[in-house]
A and B are shown apart, each in its own frame.
Chain A
Amino acid sequence: MSVTEVQFQASGAEAGQASGAPVEGRSQWQLTWRRLRSDKVSMIALIVVVLMIVLAIIAPVFAAITHHPVDAAYPIQGENAAGNPVGPFTNGFWLGTDSTGRDLLVRILYGARISLFVGVVSTFIAAFLGVTIGLMAGYFGGIIDTLLARFTDAVLAFPYVVLALALAEAFGPSLTIIMILITFFSWAGIARIVRGQTLSIREKEYIEAARSLGAGPFRIMFLDILPNLLAPVLVVATLYIPQAIVFEATLSFLGLGIQPPTPSWGNMLADAQNFYQVAWWYLAFPAIFLLITTLAFNLLGDGIRDAMDPRTERLVAARRMRRRRDKRRTALLDGQTALQNEQEA
């Protein structure tokens, strides 16, 4: 490329920028998304999460395709001569059957609905409560703050399984109780994080600037402070979802959560315990789904956290550059070898 060519290109780029549409700045979210996209693990985790949600939503479609309604038992096709579940890909059961001859795949997908619903919705409610209370406590300080701090400590110190057992015993196990429990044990952690962040942001000059413009406390809290909190809250919430899913599974496993015949990964695992010697798939598949889902949420949360950190971009860029250089070197070596071979021939 000649010098004039380079100059021409440079001036062309400038002209393009000057005459183009008004320059739109890249928002924090756009940057985060760009960084997240370049991280393979996060993208796989994201795909798994989305896939799991889609599968849960279209669970009835599977029931229709296989002609196996979720609660229908098939004592003839679904059980072998000894009355035990049949294995995967037998008699039209893709993942085999459970102890009463029901389609395992359909039940796992219906279980995913419960798990994801509990995980996402209770975390969302917890995040909403945590953000509101944490914001108030951090911004106003004083007695609200003291009360919150003590209450949060108490919640975090509470043995949650014991409380869950007691509540399930007292009110009877139900989805509502599970979600109340999960929310109750999650909001305090989020509130604490939000409070800490609020305390530091409150002292920033742009908050004082907003006050000098005449902005009221709620305007400042929700328009100036909250946008700065969304990033950490999103990370924490993503990491709380798998915890909530596992908690639901635990309670259901203990018989305190979702009650049969409604399928849930927890109560399926509990039932599968009795059959693991004759039907490994009954124990394995719900466990694998639980594992993959929680793992995907955790990896996604970690990925988002890294992507929010501007320093990550440089790391990723460096890695990409190294990879490119290695590739070039390999290509060069290959070329040399080919040349040598040619010469030898």
Chain B
Amino acid sequence: MAPSTDDNVLVRVENLVKYFPVKAGGFVRHTVGNVHAVDDVSLVIERGKTLGLVGETGSGKSTLARCVAGLIPVTSGKVIFDGRDITKLSRGAMRPLRREVQMIFQDPYSSLNPRRRVGSIIGEPFAIHKTATGAERKRQVQELMERVGLNPEHYNRFPAEFSGGQRQRIGVARALALRPKLIICDEPVSALDVSIQAQVLNLLADLQQEYGLSYLFIAHDLEVVRHVSDKVAVMYLGRVGEAAPKEDLYTHPRHPYTVALLSAAPAADPDTAAARQRVILTGDVPSPITPPAGCRFHPRCPRAQEICGIQEPRLVPYKDTGGEAEPAGVAAAPWSAGADAHLAACHFPVADGESLAAAGTRELA
């Protein structure tokens, strides 16, 4: 295992692959194929920073998150957390690490056990890791409740007695209990009202400042990701298509899929909305069981040419020149390109202000 080159790096995901076998047959079950949920993904999460992960449903965001959290075994690749590869650890060796990585879940209704009182839910981490008991546990739990904006007197209530936003705060308090270094937020606000979303996002931002947390923030709402992230990675069919610092990605998208995704997000400002060129992708996302050869996006890409269906484009850094999309030189590995690199995997990257179809042979629908 190579030593961590950068002290600012908390998590380095190297060539992570996760396949789910597809079984068939009644009595004799056998594997007939694999769902390529995550296929050769490399990412870096910096200390105290937020990495946003966007992509449509089925792009492998949540699977990637669960691999990073060590909840499911990986097929191959490495997840290096604080200098240690966690993919090979046994359950026992994994236990102390559980304190460092926590998750906040999407559905505040199914992520809290309906039969347990709030105090017991938030106190569960203390009970499992035996860090506090009795009155001390109660005191710490109530402190946490207060910190996330809940009334500590509601210690003995059941989750059903809270609203969605409050329930998500309970989830945040539970994740915070062990003072983790990394919190994986799996679409933490998608199930909430817009007004409540802002409250929860602000709470997460405050907590990040206070405790120096790192976030892996998964969402499909591009505006939410833009609001919270320092860096953003775009996933499509189990691969990272583009990864860049936030503003870079939103203002100079290089990958055609990113361009399409950005153009699809509704804009609050009518002037922006009117000025924007909508890119409408044709077709559906291909099956992750038999992903297309070459670039995963090529069957739907308006710029696709012959090579796209043959050769897999590599994730390479781009210069932020504003106009030209020039490769700044091929790095040995995506994670060694530096934290601020603008990475994209495309044979025909989009230059600034360029129409998506310009270099393409196909017409837009």
Contact = CB atoms under 8 A, between A and B. Distances in A.
A22 B155 contact: yes
B105 A205 contact: yes
A22 B105 CA distance: 28
Contact of B156 (A24, A204, A211): A24
Interface in B287-333: none
Nearest to B95: A214
Nearest to A205: B111
Interface residues of A, number: 23
A23 B98 contact: no
B61 interface: no
Interface in A3-31: 22-28
Interface in B48-99: 66, 69, 71, 91, 94-95, 98-99
Interface stretch (B13-21, B123-131, B236-244): B123-131
Contacts of A206: 110-113
B98 A212 contact: yes
B128 A213 contact: yes
B181 to A, nearest CB: 14
Looking at chain A's contact residues, the main secondary structure is helix
B157 A209 contact: no
B102 A212 contact: yes
A159 interface: no
A29 to B, nearest CB: 10
Nearest to A228: B115
A208 B71 contact: yes
A210 B128 CA distance: 9
B124 A213 contact: yes
A324 interface: no
Given A214-B129, A224-B113, A23 B153 contact: yes
A242 B155 CA distance: 40
Count class of interface residues, chain B: 35 or more
B156 A205 contact: no
Interface string B145-170: 00000000111111001000000000
A215 interface: yes
A25 B161 contact: yes
Interface string B174-209: 100010000000000000000000000000000000
Given A25-B156, A208-B71, A214 B113 contact: no
B232 interface: no
A34 interface: no
B47 interface: no
B191 to A, nearest CB: 11
Contacts of B155: 22
A214 B113 CA distance: 16
B156 A23 contact: yes
User: Which among A28, A204, A209 has the highest number of chain B CB atoms within 10 Å?
Assistant: A209
B173 interface: no
B107 interface: yes
Given A209-B103, A209-B174, A213-B102, A23 B124 contact: no
Contact of B128 (A22, A28, A214, A227): A214
Contacts of B99: 214
Contact of A205 (B95, B101, B107): B107
A323 interface: no
B353 interface: no
A219 interface: yes
A227 B116 contact: yes
A227 B124 CA distance: 15
B114 A228 contact: yes
A132 to B, nearest CB: 19
B42 interface: no
Contacts of A23: 153-154, 156-157
Nearest to B120: A223
B98 A213 contact: yes
A204 B110 contact: yes
Nearest to A28: B115
Nearest to B109: A205
Interface string A278-296: 0000000000000000000
Contacts of A212: 69, 71, 98, 101-103
Interface in A54-78: none
A25 B159 CA distance: 9
Contact of A209 (B101, B105, B118): B105
A34 to B, nearest CB: 15
A88 to B, nearest CB: 50
Nearest to B111: A205
Nearest first, the 3 closest Cβ-Cβ pairs linking A and B are A214-B98, A25-B157, A205-B111
Given A209-B112, A210-B113, A214-B94, 14 more contacts: A25-B158, A26-B158, A204-B113, A208-B66, A208-B71, A211-B71, A212-B102, A213-B124, A213-B178, A214-B98, A214-B125, A214-B129, A215-B124, A228-B114
Interface of A: 22-28, 204-206, 208-216, 219, 224, 227-228
28 contacts: A22-B154, A23-B153, A23-B157, A24-B157, A27-B158, A28-B158, A205-B105, A208-B103, A208-B105, A209-B112, A209-B171, A209-B174, A210-B113, A211-B71, A212-B98, A212-B101, A212-B102, A213-B102, A213-B178, A214-B94, A214-B99, A215-B124, A215-B128, A224-B113, A224-B116, A227-B115, A228-B113, A228-B114
Interface of B: 66, 69, 71, 91, 94-95, 98-99, 101-103, 105-107, 110-118, 124-125, 128-129, 153-158, 161, 171, 174, 178
